[in-house]
Amino acid sequence: MTLADVVFGLLGVVCLAAAILVVTSRHVIHAALWLVVCFGALAGCYLVLTAELVAWVQVLIYIGAVVVLMLFGAMLTRAPVGAVQQLDSGNRPVAAVAGLATAGVLGTLVVAAFRGAYVDIHHTAIGDGKVIGTSLFRFFVLPFEVASVLLLAALVGAIVLTKREA
Amino acid sequence: MGADAVIALEVAAKLLGCLLVFLTVPLLVGQMEHKAMAHMQSRLGPMYAGGFHGWAQLVADGVKFAQKESIVPARADRRVFELAPAVALLPYLFVLITIPVGPGQTARDLSVGVFFALAIVSVGVIGVLMAGWSSANKYSLLGGMRAGAQLMAYELPLVLAAASAAMAAGTLSLDGIVHAWRWWWLPYQGIAAAVFFIAALAELRRPPFDMPVADSEIVFGPFTEYTGLRFALFLLAEYAGIVVFSALTAVLFLGGWKGPFFEPQLGWLWLLLKTMALSFVVIWLRVTYPRLRADQLQKLAWIGLVPLALAQIALTGIVRVTT
């Protein structure tokens, strides 16, 4: 067990604890702030796994997302200072099923793909812009383009939804 | 002494250097603001503290802030309220670590330096949102919301403009970008430089983009309830932000440590000169322009800066592919 393993494990614990606090907190804004901690710890995990670029992209994109979340969380719930009792919605069972199913699929996928994989930080190429760019545009062009079409569809959908009927 | 100890010492010395710069250069900019703004408005500014032209005014201000009582409003969310200044201030300190002051002379050169700088800087706004919400004050909340909305609009042109510089240099490393810089980048990357600087002003909430703090309508917005040292930390964050964004603009678009002569030895001086000149422009703009309204702000970002940045990226792309 190396120092990197220990750091990775600790970051994982922080990430998990923060994630649990996100869903159990009764303060909307506190939940959003715990999400920042969770994402930060996750970025740290990426760093330990030598995925440098992915780690900073994680910070750049998801911190921005949390800002939006805080804005809308505050606007939609009026987010008073102090605990809110009616934060639970009636969709709890459905959400639990969806969450468990997603976790199952992703967990199985990760185990199947990376079982026994081990990153030795001294003998692995650092995942900087060059390495990511090369593999992205050499081996994963099609998934990359599909993802961009998906995002474009979501963008168009959002515009259509917000457009008022004339 | 072993090799490890030498490396540890070197790292410690570099970090200490960053901390020193972090604690002194923002004060210089603050003093410059006092004096430059005063003279632009045909007055003298502070003249007594310390004797010569009131040079010790900021020290006196610091002592004053330290003496003041630190008040947390009764209905505020105490922990978030107390943590907010640190969240607003610390990101700028971390960004300083990656800024190159000479060829290969950074506290830590990251191969993805541009990404690191932009990612870390964007964390600061969370501190402002935390302050705005946790104060339990309408004006503060309004200011926090405005700050968030403004950041969302200006983050995009900021990143696009920086991406153009990275494309032109063919690297994401800040030191690498300075190495690749040539004088003809001034016209070639001129649009990106202007977009980056304007978007940086908006990120810093400096006039004319100071609607989130607008002292005359929402009483300093997110910072209304802050007193004493915590308020001073927010002020320090503002000046540190000016220094960091000026330095980033200088590194990305003005050649960083490159200068007309004594290039390797005096790199830090050239960078400091460029940073201070840009900081002066920031202050100059504050004195020159009135505050933008919310709709004008959003229009400028989405109709003005984003298309300009995209056009610049297209230009850079064409130049890179054809040459």
Q: What is the pLDDT of residues A68-95, one digit of tens each?
A: 777 777 776 666 666 666 666 778 889 8
Domains contained in chain B, number = 1
Least confident of A151-165, B175-189, B242-256: B175-189
Specify if B100 maps to a domain: yes
Specify if A41 maps to a domain: yes
Question: Please, which pLDDT band fits residue A156 given cuts at 50, 70 and 90?
Answer: very high
Specify if A63 maps to a domain: yes
Domains contained in chain A, number = 1
Specify if B38 maps to a domain: no
The span from the CA of B151 to the CA of B190, in Å, is: 23
Query: What is chain B's mean pLDDT, rounded?
Result: 82
Specify if A85 maps to a domain: no
Specify if A67 maps to a domain: yes
Specify if A98 maps to a domain: no
CB-based contact B130 A126, cutoff 8 Å: no
CATH number at residue A76: 1.20.120.1200
CB-based contact B148 A70, cutoff 8 Å: yes
Residue A81 C-alpha, separation from nearest chain B C-alpha, in angstroms: 6
Burial of B291 (0-12, 13-18, 19+ CB in 10 A): middle
pLDDT in tens, B39-78: 888 887 777 777 777 777 778 888 888 888 877 787 777 7
**Which of B79, B126, B160 should one mutate to test binding to chain A, selecting the residue with the greatest count of A CBs within 10 A?**
B126
pLDDT in tens, B8-28: 787 788 788 778 877 788 888
pLDDT in tens, B143-180: 888 888 888 888 889 989 998 888 888 888 888 888 88
Q: What is the pTM of this model?
A: 0.83
- Contact (Cβ atoms closer than 8 angstroms) between residue B244 and residue B95: yes
Question: Please, which pLDDT band fits residue A102 given cuts at 50, 70 and 90?
Answer: very high
Chain A residues near residue B75 by CB distance under 8 angstroms? 81
The reported pLDDT for the residue numbered A166 is: 57
Residue B156 C-alpha, separation from nearest chain A C-alpha, in angstroms: 11
Question: Please, which pLDDT band fits residue A101 given cuts at 50, 70 and 90?
Answer: very high
Please give the structure tokens belonging to residue A41: 């710890």
Expressed as residue numbers, the domain containing A39 is: 1-80
A81 inside 8 A of chain B by CB: yes
pLDDT in tens, A23-59: 888 777 788 888 888 888 888 888 888 888 888 888 8
CB-based contact A64 B134, cutoff 8 Å: no
Give the residue with greater pLDDT, B278 vs A2. Answer: B278
Expressed as residue numbers, the domain containing B272 is: 73-322
Please enumerate in sequence order all residues whose Cβ is within 8 A of that of A76, keeping only pairs 6 or more positions apart, or say none: none
